[in-house]
Amino acid sequence: MIEVKELKKSFGDLPVLKNMSLTIPPGQATGIVGPNGAGKTTLIKTILGLVKSDSGTISVNGTVLNGNWLYRRDIGYMPQVARYPENMRVNELLDFIKGLRDQEAVYEDELIEQFGLASELEKPLRTLSGGNRQKVGATLAMMFNPEILFFDEPTAGLDPRSSHKFKQRVAAEKENGKTVIITSHIMSELEQLVDYVIFILDGKIRYYGSMEDLLTESKEERLEAAIANMMDDDSTSEMTNQAVQAPATGGNEYMQMVSNH
């Protein structure tokens, strides 16, 4: 379970997260949406301990974030833009991360095969295409079989076949009871992968609830139209769930996260 209470974060004079509170129960697939600069990535990075909040509390599976890094062992993270040591080969990176995490890479071989990375393993990371770097990021996020998965714009740069393979894998993780959290500007992608939606606008949660309820309330058939309506509607805050809590359901930053300090 992830619990965020009265979270605030500013960068200089710019407030980014404004007294944000929410609870994401275990086993829930959640999409985080909103315009550029709304605070989506900052929220994720704060939960991961990559950004320090100004005030408020965060707990993950009962562990309150106070400098303790052990909770990260239960998390897999795929950043929007992954940055790794450019001269390192792909297989060297995988071995390096396994050493840092000191965990069994349960699905390493399976993911390499699924994403077609076998032919890339001996190549330096600097030579990889953007799509293949994304595949490496997806493999790193999921190969340790974590209970919580964060994906930040995961299909950016993927070709249609790779995107389909990725969605198949995430759907399987969801069916296995993993907590899946995805930020994406591709609403059709979220329709396939998540059941709950968090809509963030100007650093505040304006809606948190089931996708089905959102579509019903907005009288729309597609998520894209429902979100667009809320972005245009000054009264969107009235649609926010009362407790901002959904019911339970059955780069460099990555390197920093796995470094365990």
Position 98 scores a pLDDT of 94
Position 190 scores a pLDDT of 94
Position 255 scores a pLDDT of 55
* Number of domains forming the structure of the chain: 1
Position 37 scores a pLDDT of 87
Give the percent of the chain with pLDDT over 90: 72
- For 13, half-sphere exposure in the C-beta direction (CA atoms, 13 angstrom radius) is 0
Domain ranges, residue 95 = 2-258
| SS3 state at 113 | helix
Residue 196, pLDDT > 90, answer: yes
Instruction: Name the pLDDT band for 257 (thresholds 50, 70, 90).
Output: low
Question: Would you state the structure tokens that stand for residue 82, as one six-digit string?
Answer: 């992954």
The string of pLDDT tens digits covering residues 236-249 is 444 444 334 433 33
Instruction: Taking residues 134-146, report their average pLDDT.
Output: 96
The CA–CA distances, whole Å, from 27 to 65, 155, 169, 173, 246 equal: 21, 22, 16, 10, 12
Q: How many CB atoms lie within 10 A of CB 189?
A: 20
The CA–CA distances, whole Å, from 207 to 75, 90, 237 equal: 25, 40, 7
Instruction: Name the pLDDT band for 259 (thresholds 50, 70, 90).
Output: low
The string of pLDDT tens digits covering residues 23-54 is 999 999 999 999 988 999 899 999 999 899 99
| Helical packing angle, 130-142 and 160-175, nearest 10° | 10
218: exposed, middle or buried (Cβ count in 10 Å: 0-12, 13-18, 19+): buried
- Asked whether 148 and 60 are in contact (CB, 8 A), the reply is yes
Residue 250, pLDDT > 60, answer: no
To which residue do tokens 């649609």 refer? 239
Q: Which residue has the higher pLDDT, 219 or 251?
A: 219
Instruction: Name the pLDDT band for 180 (thresholds 50, 70, 90).
Output: very high
- Amino acid identity, position 83: R
Residue 234, pLDDT > 60, answer: no
Instruction: Name the pLDDT band for 235 (thresholds 50, 70, 90).
Output: very low
139's CB contacts (< 8 A; 6+ apart) are 94, 108, 111, 112, 115, 117
Position 92 scores a pLDDT of 97
The string of pLDDT tens digits covering residues 42-100 is 999 999 998 999 999 999 998 898 877 788 889 999 998 878 888 999 999 999 999 99
The string of pLDDT tens digits covering residues 120-132 is 999 999 999 999 9
Angle value at C-alpha 69, between 93 and 48, nearest 5 degrees? 75
Containing 137, the helix (H) or strand (E) segment is: helix 130-142
Position 258 scores a pLDDT of 64
Q: Are strands 63-64 and 55-60 parallel, antiparallel or unpaired?
A: antiparallel
214's CB contacts (< 8 A; 6+ apart) are 197, 207, 223, 226, 239
**Tally of helices (H runs) and strands (E runs) in the chain:** 9, 10
Average model confidence (pLDDT) across the chain: 88
Residue 252, pLDDT > 60, answer: no
Strand order in the sheet with 2-11: 14-24, 2-11, 55-60, 63-64
Q: CATH number, domain at 197?
A: 3.40.50.300
Position 20 scores a pLDDT of 96
Question: Would you state the structure tokens that stand for residue 192, as one six-digit string?
Answer: 């396939």
Residue 214, pLDDT > 90, answer: yes
Question: Would you state the structure tokens that stand for residue 178, as one six-digit string?
Answer: 């993993």
Residue 260, pLDDT > 80, answer: no
Instruction: Taking residues 146-169, report their average pLDDT.
Output: 93
